[in-house]
Amino acid sequence: MKDRYYAGFMTQRPAFFTEFSKGLSRIRRRFLVVLTDLFALMYLWTLASYCVNDFFYHVRNFTSLPWWVMLIVAVEVAAFWEAFGVSIGMRLLGLRLRPIEEHRLGQHVVRYILWHISPLFLFRLLWKSDAVPWHESVSGLKTVRASEIAMTPRPWYTRSWSVAAVLIMLLSLGAAMLITKVDFYALSTGAPKMMPLWRDLVSPNWALLGDGVRLLIVTVFMALMATIFAVIIAVPLSFFAARNLMHGVVGQAVYIIVRTIADIMRSLNVIIWAIVFIVWVRAGAFSGMLALFVQATANLIKLYSERLESIDPGPPEAIRATGGNRLQVVIFGVIPQIVNP
């Protein structure tokens, strides 16, 4: 179906622009294949170098050769990989090589040689998206989508991209174990050191029961006060944090400011707020209540604003169309939808 509009104010896009968009999409997909393969190969080399250097030479070094040597080797391996097999980039972006006529091994050799200058011939696709680039017509191997080729299922170990993916996962696991210094021997032999701790856990000190109950009551009332004050503050602020209620430049600015401040407040852990208020006021129940208040306010602003954004827009628009102001829209068009009858 053509992109055509019959309302009289929009027309079909020019043919040149359509061809340019299609060609740019094909070029972008092929460049992404190369970048993905280069990243995978350099990542694989880096992990392998680190594992070898750490395990055999006890040196924490991610590179064994200069970076430019690694880059050149990665480029050549990527060219060979994409010419003779299905690379990780080709698998992820859904591209395959298909012979234009008869399939011969020499076609892959020619494809590998011309791969190094292939970017020069891809720009022809910008003005003719269905054209065959020169390096593809010479090699006899055309880049097509994977959906255009009928492929038979094969075991994973016979496919180069799956073997490379397994190697990347194994080397990532090995490098992570070396970096984090995983010590299974210490884990298995250090268990007896935990016996005093387990013994204390199952042997509570009942002399502290009275203090525990008293502090538990303090904690409950801290949460109660924090919730009450948070509701009082969050309810009005949630109207300013609802996108559908903030109109105009000023309204959008207020929405962004309130939503950003609430997100920052919510992203900080309550322990961080407790430390802030301990320095601000003093160590005690009051600083803990303030920390819970800030965290609860941010969470309730997000909760209430999302509820406001899910209301039916019909009643507010109807009240606004009859001349109602912002306050009347909120009172008669918004609140009845969010308050349970």
**pLDDT tens digits for 65-74?**
888 888 999 9
Same domain, 165 and 251: no
Q: Is residue 92 part of a domain?
A: yes
Domain that holds residue 275: 218-310
Same domain, 31 and 116: yes
Return d(Cα 328, Cα 177) in angstroms, integer. 62
Tokens at 324, concatenated: 């109602």
DSSP labels, 180-212? TT--HHHHHHSGGGGHHHHHHHTS--GGGHHHH
Which has the higher per-residue pLDDT, 94 or 26? Answer: 94
Q: Check residue 309 and give its pLDDT.
A: 86
Same domain, 151 and 259: no
Sign for the CA dihedral angle at 264, 267, 272, 278 comes to: positive
Backbone angles phi, psi at 234, to 5 degrees: -75, -30
Q: Is residue 335 part of a domain?
A: no
Same domain, 137 and 246: no
Question: pLDDT exceeding 90 applies to what percent of the chain?
Answer: 35
* The model scores a pTM over 0.75: no
pLDDT of 81 strictly over 70: yes
Same domain, 120 and 241: no
Q: Is residue 338 part of a domain?
A: no
Same domain, 29 and 162: yes
Q: Where are the beta strands (DSSP E) in the chain?
A: 95-99, 141-145
For residue 319, what is the enclosing H or E element?
helix 314-321
Beta strand pairing call for 95-99 and 141-145: antiparallel
Tokens at 126, concatenated: 């910008």
Q: Check residue 125 and give its pLDDT.
A: 65
- Any idea which of 143-152, 254-263, 293-302 has the lowest mean pLDDT? 143-152
Same domain, 134 and 277: no
Same domain, 26 and 163: yes
Range with the largest mean pLDDT of 13-17, 36-40, 199-203: 36-40
Could you give the number of structural domains in the chain? 2
Q: Is residue 339 part of a domain?
A: no
Same domain, 157 and 285: no
Q: Check residue 5 and give its pLDDT.
A: 44
Q: Is residue 161 part of a domain?
A: yes
- Any idea which of 53-57, 81-85, 172-176, 269-273 has the lowest mean pLDDT? 53-57
Range with the largest mean pLDDT of 62-66, 88-92, 335-339: 88-92
Same domain, 116 and 34: yes
Return d(Cα 223, Cα 1) in angstroms, integer. 60
CB atoms within 10 A of CB 66: 9
Tokens at 139, concatenated: 């090699």
Same domain, 108 and 256: no
Same domain, 235 and 124: no
Tokens at 125, concatenated: 């696709």
Q: Check residue 148 and give its pLDDT.
A: 83
Q: Which of 146, 172, 198 is the last residue of a domain?
A: 172
